[in-house]
Amino acid sequence: MTSASPSISAAGPAPEPSALAEISQETLALCRRLFVQLLRRPSTLVAGVLQPLIWLVLFGALFSRAPEGLLPGGISYGRFLGAGVIVFTAFSGALNAGLPLMFDREFGFLNRLLVAPLRSRSSIVLASVLYITAMSLVQSLAIMATAALLGYGWPSGPGLFVVLVTLLLLVFAVTALSLGLAFALPGHIELIAVIFVANLPLLFASTALAPISFMPPWLGWLAALNPLTFAIEPIRAVYSGSFHLGDVVLNAPYGSLTAGTCLGLLAVLSAALFLSIRPLLDRKLT
C-alpha cells in the first residue's frame, strides 16, 4: 500500500517499486533500530571493548619480563598478544549477533516483522549482519588503537586492509553461527549459556595467547584447527612487519599454512555456515 497519494493513478495500478529499493528500506529501518538500541544502552559495546582491553593490559604486563627471543621471530609478548586480542574482540562481539533476534522471538516482536509485507525476509538477517559487523569492527579498531598507544604498533595502509578483511571474514562466520543458534535454541538463557561456554575455550585453544610450539600436541592440534587461529596468524604477520599472502604463517601439525590459505579457509567457513543455516532460517521465517 505505498500508493497513498492519488497521483497519476489513471494509468492503472502503480508499477511495483523495485525490489532493491524496498529491501534496502526495510533493512535500513531494522538496522537503525539495532543501532538506536545500542546507543541508548551502550553497555554491550563498552563491555565488549573493556574485556579485551583488560586482557591486553594485564597479560601484556604479566609477560613483559619474558626473556627476549622466547617467541618465534623474537617479537615482544605484547606485540604477539595484540593480534590475539584483536581477533578475540571481533569474535566475542560477533558471537552476540543472535541475542537481539532471540529477544525479538521471545517478546513477540518478530511477529510484528513477519506480518509486515517484507519484500524479503532476509532483510531481518541482513540487518543483523550489518549491525554486528559494524559493531565488532568498531570494537576491534578501539582495541587496535589502544595497542598502538601501548607501543605495539599500527599496521601500515595495505596491512590495515588485510586486518580488516580477516576480521570481516571471521565476523561473518561467527555471526552466521550465532544467528543459527538464535533460531535453533529455545530461549535466550540457552543462547547466553552457549555463548558463555564457547567463548573462553575457543580463546585458549587458539594461538591467541601462545604459539603452537608451546602447546602439548593435543592442544596444538586443536589450536591448528580453530578458526580463530586462521584469523590470528595473518594479522600477527601484518603486525610483525612483512606480510605476503604466500608467506607461511602457521606451522600446524598437519603442515604449513600460508596467509592466503588461512584467509581462504575463513572465507569457505563463513560461506558454509551461511549455507547451512539457510534452511533453518527459511523454516523459521515463513
236 in contact with another protein (CB under 8 A): no
Binding range to another protein, per CB under 8 A, among 76-84, 115-123, 135-143, 262-270 = 115-123
Q: Which residues pair with 257 in a beta bridge?
A: 250
Report the residue from 110, 147, 181, 277 that binds another protein according to the rule CB under 8 A.
110
Min dist. Cβ of residue 26 to another protein (A):
5
36 in contact with another protein (CB under 8 A): yes
Q: Which of 286, 33, 281, 54 is nearest to 150 (CA)?
A: 54
The residue among 40 and 65 lying less far from another protein, judged by its C-beta, is 40
The residue among 28 and 265 lying less far from another protein, judged by its C-beta, is 28
The residue among 219 and 285 lying less far from another protein, judged by its C-beta, is 285
Report the residue from 14, 66, 112, 201 that binds another protein according to the rule CB under 8 A.
112
The residue among 35 and 221 lying less far from another protein, judged by its C-beta, is 35
Min dist. Cβ of residue 36 to another protein (A):
6
Report the residue from 25, 156, 256, 276 that binds another protein according to the rule CB under 8 A.
25
The residue among 41 and 65 lying less far from another protein, judged by its C-beta, is 41
40 in contact with another protein (CB under 8 A): yes
Min dist. Cβ of residue 220 to another protein (A):
42
Q: Using CA atoms, how far apart are residues 83 and 144, in angstroms rounded to an integer?
A: 9
Q: Which of 164, 173, 175, 174 is nearest to 139 (CA)?
A: 164
122 in contact with another protein (CB under 8 A): no
189 in contact with another protein (CB under 8 A): no
8 in contact with another protein (CB under 8 A): no
13 in contact with another protein (CB under 8 A): no
150 in contact with another protein (CB under 8 A): no
Report the residue from 9, 14, 32, 154 that binds another protein according to the rule CB under 8 A.
32
The residue among 17 and 151 lying less far from another protein, judged by its C-beta, is 17
Q: Which of 73, 79, 68 is nearest to 249 (CA)?
A: 73
Evaluate whether 277 touches 122 at the Cβ level (below 8 Å). Answer: no
Q: Which residues pair with 256 in a beta bridge?
A: 251
109 in contact with another protein (CB under 8 A): yes
115 in contact with another protein (CB under 8 A): yes
Min dist. Cβ of residue 95 to another protein (A):
22
Min dist. Cβ of residue 27 to another protein (A):
9
Size of the chain in residues: 286
108 in contact with another protein (CB under 8 A): yes
